[in-house]
Chain A
């Protein structure tokens, strides 16, 4: 367990951007209509947003960030940009640095990437709040998202219909009067094979066979550059670890479940999230979902769910939130924090 708390940070606004193009599960012709029905029932995913081939995750994050910078007229005030993603623009340089320039931010700006998936938003919050808590840096942009559809193969029914694309921006500022944020962050590399893209980096470099299609089993064919997902492995990990992580956070932080207004969970799939919810004995009204319309959007799923489902509450109320991200790595973590009058928006990526 890695319990930590940070102080003096405040979420000002959250923006999420998704591609305009919708792919419905019922249009996924690689599986039968019976399989489509079972997939929708089990995962909750009715449709997803899919970015065009030439659109990067950073484009979606850019649109989100630009909307917040314009609204708050704060381009000159951003002291730090963190980009959390597993779909960067390039092998190098870091995408955060490209976004610093693209967003017309000053050069006196810290910029770096964090390579995490489904746990990324919570980890990003922990790093950003640590960087802001002293007050030497005043405002930060946490840019979080993935273009997961780049790495899934249409002929792999175990991955293709699960993932959607999204990019988000969260404006966070140093705030001396804000209450502490409480984190419980965990890692277990023994789960590395449960979600992995094994080829194309330095461990297994590019080679000529990278795009060769391999049939794994009926309905599952993919190339070496594609994402491999062991659904049962992930499911077991989530059932074993997530509720325990959250309960430990309650013990350490002295918060209670009753004090939490919303539990915003990573949108893994409905069966996993409902199992976690039942383990924690939380009312369904306190657990918002976005997976039905956006699929599993990796690290973007928590802020996207907030923008999609909690706009009014976030903007008008003081809330105590628990967010929990879990997945690839394995990496997982939860945070309890308070919000007040957080502006949100949900945008569609428009090439024009």
Chain B
């Protein structure tokens, strides 16, 4: 999955976010209304779509969608 597709699909998981407003360099923790629930949504999304299990530490260390994507691709190696 390309980073563009990854970003688009992840954005679709955040129903309250206006489509097209998230890009790979978006700091996801700055998304309006960010909470720990969003972290769970990201973990579930990555697990279902990439078969990779992100940890709490992974989510904490990442700032942008690109950072998340890098962690996922690294874990897939």
Known: A231-B40, A278-B48. A236 touches B33 (CB 8 A): no
- Check if A236 sits within 8 Å of B16, measured CB to CB: no
In the assembled complex, the Cα of A5 lies from the Cα of B39 at a distance in Å of 39
Known: A232-B59, A239-B47. A158 touches B41 (CB 8 A): no
Query: Which secondary structure characterizes the binding site on chain B?
Result: helix
In the assembled complex, the Cα of A230 lies from the Cα of B59 at a distance in Å of 14
Residues of B within 8 A of A106 (CB): none
Type the 1/0 row for A2-45, where 1 means its CB is closer than 8 Å to any CB of B.
Answer: 00000000000000000000000000000000110111011000
Cβ distance B5 to chain A, nearest Cβ, rounded Å: 19
* A235: Cβ under 8 A from any B Cβ: yes
Known: A38-B16, A232-B55, A236-B55. A158 touches B36 (CB 8 A): yes
Residues of B within 8 A of A252 (CB): none
- Check if B43 sits within 8 Å of A239, measured CB to CB: yes
**Residue from B40, B55, B56 whose CB has the most chain A CB atoms within 10 Å:** B40
- Check if B16 sits within 8 Å of A34, measured CB to CB: yes
- Check if A271 sits within 8 Å of B36, measured CB to CB: no
- Check if A232 sits within 8 Å of B39, measured CB to CB: yes
* A192: Cβ under 8 A from any B Cβ: no
- Check if B33 sits within 8 Å of A35, measured CB to CB: yes
* B74: Cβ under 8 A from any A Cβ: no
The one of A39, A233, A274 in contact with B37, judged by C-beta atoms closer than 8 angstroms, is: A39
Residue of B whose beta carbon sits closest to that of A38: B37
- Check if A232 sits within 8 Å of B40, measured CB to CB: yes
Residue of B whose beta carbon sits closest to that of A274: B44
* A316: Cβ under 8 A from any B Cβ: no
The one of B40, B53, B54, B59 in contact with A42, judged by C-beta atoms closer than 8 angstroms, is: B40
Residues of B within 8 A of A41 (CB): 15
In the assembled complex, the Cα of A274 lies from the Cα of B15 at a distance in Å of 17
Cβ distance B37 to chain A, nearest Cβ, rounded Å: 5
- Check if B56 sits within 8 Å of A236, measured CB to CB: yes
In the assembled complex, the Cα of A41 lies from the Cα of B33 at a distance in Å of 14
Number of interface residues of A (CB under 8 A): 21
Known: A233-B56, A235-B43, A239-B47. A42 touches B37 (CB 8 A): yes
* B2: Cβ under 8 A from any A Cβ: no
Total residue contacts A-B, CB cutoff 8 A: 51
Residues of B within 8 A of A233 (CB): 56
Known: A34-B33, A239-B43, A275-B47. A230 touches B16 (CB 8 A): no
In the assembled complex, the Cα of A235 lies from the Cα of B59 at a distance in Å of 13
Number of interface residues of B (CB under 8 A): 19
* B21: Cβ under 8 A from any A Cβ: no
- Check if B15 sits within 8 Å of A232, measured CB to CB: no
Cβ distance B43 to chain A, nearest Cβ, rounded Å: 6
In the assembled complex, the Cα of A41 lies from the Cα of B16 at a distance in Å of 11
- Check if A232 sits within 8 Å of B56, measured CB to CB: yes
Residues of B within 8 A of A158 (CB): 36
Q: In residues 129-183 of chain A, which contact B (Cβ within 8 Å)?
A: 158
In the assembled complex, the Cα of A233 lies from the Cα of B59 at a distance in Å of 12
Type the 1/0 row for B16-50, where 1 means its CB is closer than 8 Å to any CB of A.
Answer: 10000000000000000101111111011001100
Residues of A within 8 A of B55 (CB): 232, 236
In the assembled complex, the Cα of A190 lies from the Cα of B39 at a distance in Å of 22
Q: In residues 276-326 of chain A, which contact B (Cβ within 8 Å)?
A: 278-279
In the assembled complex, the Cα of A34 lies from the Cα of B31 at a distance in Å of 13
* A107: Cβ under 8 A from any B Cβ: no
Cβ distance A320 to chain B, nearest Cβ, rounded Å: 27
* Given A274-B44, A275-B44: 18 more A-B contacts, CB < 8 Å: A34-B16, A35-B33, A35-B37, A37-B16, A38-B35, A41-B15, A231-B39, A232-B43, A232-B55, A232-B56, A233-B56, A235-B44, A236-B43, A236-B54, A239-B47, A239-B53, A240-B53, A279-B47
Identify 10 residue pairs between A and B in the complex whose beta-carbon atoms are under 8 Å apart, listed by A's number. A35-B33, A39-B37, A232-B39, A232-B40, A235-B43, A235-B44, A236-B53, A236-B56, A240-B53, A274-B44
Q: Which residues of B contact A (CB under 8 A)?
A: 15-16, 33, 35-41, 43-44, 47-48, 53-56, 59
